[in-house]
């Protein structure tokens, strides 16, 4: 799990998130409210889907691009249960939430790192 999580608020502009995700080398960005609660997720796939209208996309708030029904898990969830959830739901990353606040994210990349050890 990565605890140094890059997240954005829902009113951030599309092009800002695209640029920051590229600079941070992340493929999944949690969208949080003012209390750091997860309200959405934006992925590289979501961003690419909106690139067909690149000029207009600069002014689109992330809330119009993000996925809203985000699966979250707690830090106590076992690695096996996280993997099963990701496979069953065909998702590449899961925000980790404690007391309704974002505390981390686990992605496919974390499993690759674990397997490489």
What pLDDT was estimated at residue 58?
Answer: 59
| CATH code where residue 21 lies | 3.10.580.10
* pLDDT tens-digit series, residues 42-69: 987 787 777 665 555 556 788 888 999 9
- What residues does 94 pair with on adjacent strands? 106
* pLDDT tens-digit series, residues 8-48: 888 887 666 666 666 577 889 999 999 999 999 998 778 77
Q: What is the CA radius of gyration of the chain?
A: 14
What pLDDT was estimated at residue 38?
Answer: 98
* pLDDT tens-digit series, residues 97-109: 999 999 999 999 9
Is position 3 within any domain?
no
Kindly give, in sequence order, each residue whose CB lies less than 8 Å from that of residue 79, ignoring residues fewer than 6 positions away. Answer: 114
- Rounded to 5°, the CA angle 51-48-46 comes to 120
Tokens for 57?
A: 């996309």
Q: Which residues span the domain enclosing 21?
A: 8-116
Tokens for 82?
A: 């996280």
Is position 101 within any domain?
yes
pLDDT at 117 over 80: yes
The Cα 59–Cα 70 span in angstroms is 24
Domain count of the chain? 1
């Amino acid at each position: 799990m990565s605890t140094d999580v890059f997240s954005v608020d829902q009113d951030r502009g599309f092009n800002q998130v695209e640029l920051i995700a590229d600079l941070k080398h992340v493929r999944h960005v949690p969208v949080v409210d003012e209390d750091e609660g997860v309200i959405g997720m934006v992925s590289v796939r979501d961003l690419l889907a909106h690139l067909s209208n690149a000029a207009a996309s600069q002014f689109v708030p992330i809330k119009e691009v993000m996925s809203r029904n985000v699966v979250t898990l707690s830090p106590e969830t076992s690695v096996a249960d996280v993997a099963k959830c990701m496979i069953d739901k065909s998702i590449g990353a899961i925000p980790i939430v404690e007391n309704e606040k974002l505390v981390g994210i686990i992605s496919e990349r974390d499993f690759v790192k674990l397997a490489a050890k």
